Structure 1
Amino acid sequence: MIRLRKICAGLFLLGSLSAHAQSFTLKEAVDYAIVHHVQVKNSQIDLQNASAKINEIRAIGLPQVNAGLSYGNSLILQRVFIPANLFNPAAKPDELIAAKFGVTNSGQSSVSLSQLVFDGTYLLGLKASEVYKDLSVKSLTQSKQQVAENVTKAYYGILVNEKRLSILQLNVGRLDTLLKETKALNAQGFVEKIDVQRLEVQANNLRTELENIYRLQELSYSLLKFQMAYPIQEPLRLSETLEKIELSQSLLIDQDIPFNYGNRIEYSILKTQENLAELDLKSIKAGYMPRLVAGANYGYNAGANSFGDLVSRTWFDNATISFSLQIPIFDGFSKKYKAIQSANNLQKVRQSYDLLKSSIDLQRSQSAISLKNALESLKEQKANLDLANEISRVSRVKYTQGVGSNLEVLNAETSIKESQANYFTALYNALIAKVELAKSNGTLYSEQ
């Protein structure tokens, strides 16, 4: 009894904390996780990087402006050998003079501008970066769907355990009442001591099971908080109940309608990957086209034998404009083999469609069959549980009237316990099958 009081006190404390805790419906729990989960946040960062990548590639086609300032000091001027008779007609024809040319100090400043006029790979690269951003958007959606799936399963697990806890508490109360009655009958000499002991063993086992489910419920709440990225130390409670969750054959109505594979994010991602592979192949082939770049440069330069003269003397300006046309002629077949690899990668992506479609069809079929089986099992286990409860009621009535045995009552209680365990297992399996069916149909999570 002391242990039972501790359990009840723990349940009461949990309920008191829950009363002051933030309440979540399933949708609110999923929405909270979508905002706070690290997996989603990292996908959002990847999307930001994809947007930045587009601007990075776009910047290549914008004017490129650079400025520079240089200073040089020739510690030892290089000598140039020239015929001596250029300066002295009397010099011998083969006589040379080692003359210094240049100045000790030199300076130069310039501003240059370059503009990409045409480059086929640039245009395709810009388009590919936009497709890559689309891939990042879809990867973000996939992360949200995975988080939604995990939160939903954890949420359902708590609801099932809550129902199990409430029924186990009723079982403990019913068995305690029967135990008190049996002890009274034993004190009056109507039943044997062993009948009391059998009930005590049954009651102890039931309390132990209640403790285990209580601890399991604490773990289930921790799991849900983890999946939601909710602070583990903060209390949390659920505002939905099992009665609000639809579990019927109507969930299978749409299974015979032609399925749109585009509803599955995996298929949509594969389509984007195909677009990227196509652009990669086109970009390699565009490498055979000429590349035209325009440029302009304006600057000043000066020279002097002393640094002071370099600063004070006039600097002379200069300017140039240029056009550079680069025509690829032969690259050792480098682009040819790159194109072969890219074409093979594109073929692999296209061949993956049939495999992915078959995989999706199999998942939809399996999930539909699993849900059907789970609903049938749930129906049967509910009938078994109702029957076990009725048998227990009749056995207790017979026992209290002196026409039934204690063993009959214990067997009925054991049957109830087994039926309840089977029922809750079937209930949880049905809920998980419901999630898997929605996942296979691509309807588990929608941002609408």
Structure 2
Amino acid sequence: MFKKKIKLVILSLLSLIGSGVLAQETPPLEVLQLNLKETLEYALENNPDSKNAKLEVMISQTTIKENTASGLPQINGSVGINYNPLVQVVFLPNEPPFGDPSNPSDVIPARFGVSYSGNAGFTLSQMIFDGSFFVGLRAAKTYKALTEFDKVKVENDVIENVKKAYFGVLVNAERIKLSQSNLSRIDSLLEETRALNEAGFTEKIEVSRIQVQRNNTFSQLKQSLTAYDISKQLLKIQLGLPRNYDIVITETLAELNPEEDLAALLAMEVGHRVEMDQINTNLELTQLDLKYNTSQYLPTIDLNANFTRSGAGDTFSRLFNSINWFSSSMVGVTMNIPIFDGLSKSARIQRNRIQLQQLENQKFYLNQNIALEVYQAKQNLANDLEVLAVQRESMELAKEVYDISKIKYNEGVGSNLEVVEADAALIESEINYLGALYDGLVSKVDLEKALGVLKNGLDY
């Protein structure tokens, strides 16, 4: 018995120690309190897509430097030492004046070279004329401008996704508040009905009917809590927020959507869209590619120069004697003239011209599509605002019906079923109202995107 007690004490201590270790290993949550503007600013700095877009701009800057470097002098140095285990032999005729009468052979072998040789020098090349160089340099700068527009497009997408996720968190938070209020109301009704049943004034079926309604309301609360947690995790992913951080939103839905702002948004005309900048820049790049391929027909002129010191010795130690080293140099100009390449340049030029036609078609389609996006977004927002007003009125009426039904029931002139039905209608109207509210928020974001004003108010 004593051993069993000792064993239980040891197990208890181990469990306490283990729980302490786990508590130490689990990092505490860091809480960020953010409003919408701060949330968007954080996302633009930390979202992976946004960070990659900024890195792409930096890559384009290195491309400009790389293209510029090809037009600057290219200098290379070289140093080498060679060892010939078997020196090449050449044969000379055994004839006067170099012949050897004592040698019966008709040829005389002569060693052509020495065992060791070395060289050191440098070469210089400088482009004098290349029509494609300046076109390529301009294309690199244009490509950098394209990456800047791509960055803006990515940031717009990030803002759109973050706003929708942010509004989802707020709506789910409101859904939790309503579910808790509904649960508290039905619990109060259930307690009253049980008391009446115990006193003999109501039947057991009335208690069961309210209990069913209470169970349904509790299930809705659990669903709301789950939806809130999921929406918050989605927002954290969009923000690029580490897992050991939590978010507390410091705004309410009413603060984010004043009616005058919505009216001004509906009256606004389409502004500047970065998609048009992207397609115009692609047009410019294709035109530059056409010029580049056309310039390939022109000759290129390059300056070439080299300087070399060469030495040799029959032994390794004599290789480095200064008397065995000699200098040589060369300066020249080279012109390369393209004559025939199998019509490959012609095919590339033809392809560029077709690509220009494709981009012009895309530009026309984009203009039409932007106008349609703005029209649809305005119609959707206007309709959603009307539906939202109707759902708000329905919710207020449902609340009024419930209050009247509850008063009638308390005074004994109404039925329990009437109260339960009124409560169910009130909960349904609240769910419909929150759904309409979220639809309106999403439509607002879609309209901001269509008008090109998603980044308004941000310092980016």
Q: TM-score, normalised by structure 2?
A: 0.87
Of residues 284, 288, 295, the one that matches 1:275 is 284
1:318 aligns with 2:328: yes
1:121 aligns with 2:137: no
1:144 aligns with 2:160: no
Structure 2 matches for 1:16-415, cutoff 5 A?
21-74=31-84, 75-82=86-93, 84-88=95-99, 96-246=107-257, 248=259, 251=262, 253=264, 259-260=270-271, 263-314=272-323, 315-415=325-425
Inter-partner Cα distance in structure 1 for 2:280 and 2:288: 13
Checking the alignment, whether the CA contact within 8 Å between 2:122 and 2:308 is kept in structure 1 is yes
Q: Per-residue deviation at 1:247?
A: 5.7
Q: Per-residue deviation at 1:257?
A: 5.8
1:296 match: secondary structure: strand
Q: Which residue of 2 aligns with 1:10?
A: none
Q: Go from structure 1 to structure 2 and tell me whether the alpha carbon gap of 1:80 and 1:204 turns closer, same or farther (over 3 Å shift).
A: same
Inter-partner Cα distance in structure 2 for 1:257 and 1:282: 41
Inter-partner Cα distance in structure 2 for 1:197 and 1:181: 13
Checking the alignment, whether the CA contact within 8 Å between 2:128 and 2:301 is kept in structure 1 is yes
Q: Which residue of 1 aligns with 2:20?
A: none
Checking the alignment, whether the CA contact within 8 Å between 1:247 and 1:430 is kept in structure 2 is no
Checking the alignment, whether the CA contact within 8 Å between 1:85 and 1:95 is kept in structure 2 is no
Checking the alignment, whether the CA contact within 8 Å between 1:284 and 1:339 is kept in structure 2 is yes
Q: Per-residue deviation at 1:253?
A: 4.3
Q: Per-residue deviation at 1:96?
A: 4.8
Letter in 2 for 1:287: Q
Identical residues among aligned pairs (%): 34
Inter-partner Cα distance in structure 1 for 2:30 and 2:289: 57
Q: Go from structure 1 to structure 2 and tell me whether the alpha carbon gap of 1:77 and 1:426 turns closer, same or farther (over 3 Å shift).
A: same
Structure 2 unaligned blocks of 5 or more:
1-27
Checking the alignment, whether the CA contact within 8 Å between 2:395 and 2:430 is kept in structure 1 is yes
- Aligned-pair Cα RMSD in Å: 2.4
Q: Go from structure 1 to structure 2 and tell me whether the alpha carbon gap of 1:231 and 1:355 turns closer, same or farther (over 3 Å shift).
A: same
Letter in 1 for 2:348: K
Checking the alignment, whether the CA contact within 8 Å between 2:93 and 2:99 is kept in structure 1 is no
Cα deviation code 1:229-251 (max 9, x no counterpart): 11233222001101102264753
Cα deviation code 1:267-325 (max 9, x no counterpart): 21111111111111100111111111112212211233333222214211122211111
Checking the alignment, whether the CA contact within 8 Å between 1:63 and 1:114 is kept in structure 2 is yes
Cα deviation code 1:407-432 (max 9, x no counterpart): 11111111101111111110010011
Q: Go from structure 1 to structure 2 and tell me whether the alpha carbon gap of 1:83 and 1:423 turns closer, same or farther (over 3 Å shift).
A: same
Checking the alignment, whether the CA contact within 8 Å between 2:126 and 2:303 is kept in structure 1 is yes
1:230 match: secondary structure: coil
Checking the alignment, whether the CA contact within 8 Å between 2:29 and 2:246 is kept in structure 1 is no
Inter-partner Cα distance in structure 1 for 2:60 and 2:351: 25
Inter-partner Cα distance in structure 1 for 2:288 and 2:308: 41
2:308 match: secondary structure: strand
Q: Go from structure 1 to structure 2 and tell me whether the alpha carbon gap of 1:258 and 1:428 turns closer, same or farther (over 3 Å shift).
A: closer
Inter-partner Cα distance in structure 2 for 1:90 and 1:103: 26
Cα deviation code 1:87-109 (max 9, x no counterpart): 24989xx9554444333332221
Checking the alignment, whether the CA contact within 8 Å between 1:53 and 1:129 is kept in structure 2 is yes
Letter in 1 for 2:443: A
Checking the alignment, whether the CA contact within 8 Å between 2:190 and 2:207 is kept in structure 1 is yes
Q: TM-score, normalised by structure 1?
A: 0.90
Inter-partner Cα distance in structure 1 for 2:156 and 2:117: 66
Letter in 2 for 1:123: F
Inter-partner Cα distance in structure 1 for 2:226 and 2:341: 69
Checking the alignment, whether the CA contact within 8 Å between 2:29 and 2:244 is kept in structure 1 is no
Cα deviation code 1:61-84 (max 9, x no counterpart): 111111111223332323144472
1:85 match: secondary structure: coil
Inter-partner Cα distance in structure 1 for 2:269 and 2:43: 32
Letter in 1 for 2:189: L
Inter-partner Cα distance in structure 1 for 2:267 and 2:365: 21
2:270 match: secondary structure: coil
Q: Per-residue deviation at 1:127?
A: 0.9
Cα deviation code 1:117-174 (max 9, x no counterpart): 1111111111111111111111122221111111111110111111121122221222
Inter-partner Cα distance in structure 2 for 1:62 and 1:145: 39
1:435 aligns with 2:445: yes
Cα deviation code 1:156-215 (max 9, x no counterpart): 011111112112222122222222222222233322221121111111211121111112
1:212 match: secondary structure: helix
Checking the alignment, whether the CA contact within 8 Å between 2:30 and 2:245 is kept in structure 1 is no
Tell which deviates more after alignment, 376-385 or 322-331.
Answer: 322-331
How many residues are treated as equivalent by the alignment? 428
Letter in 2 for 1:330: F
Inter-partner Cα distance in structure 1 for 2:312 and 2:328: 14
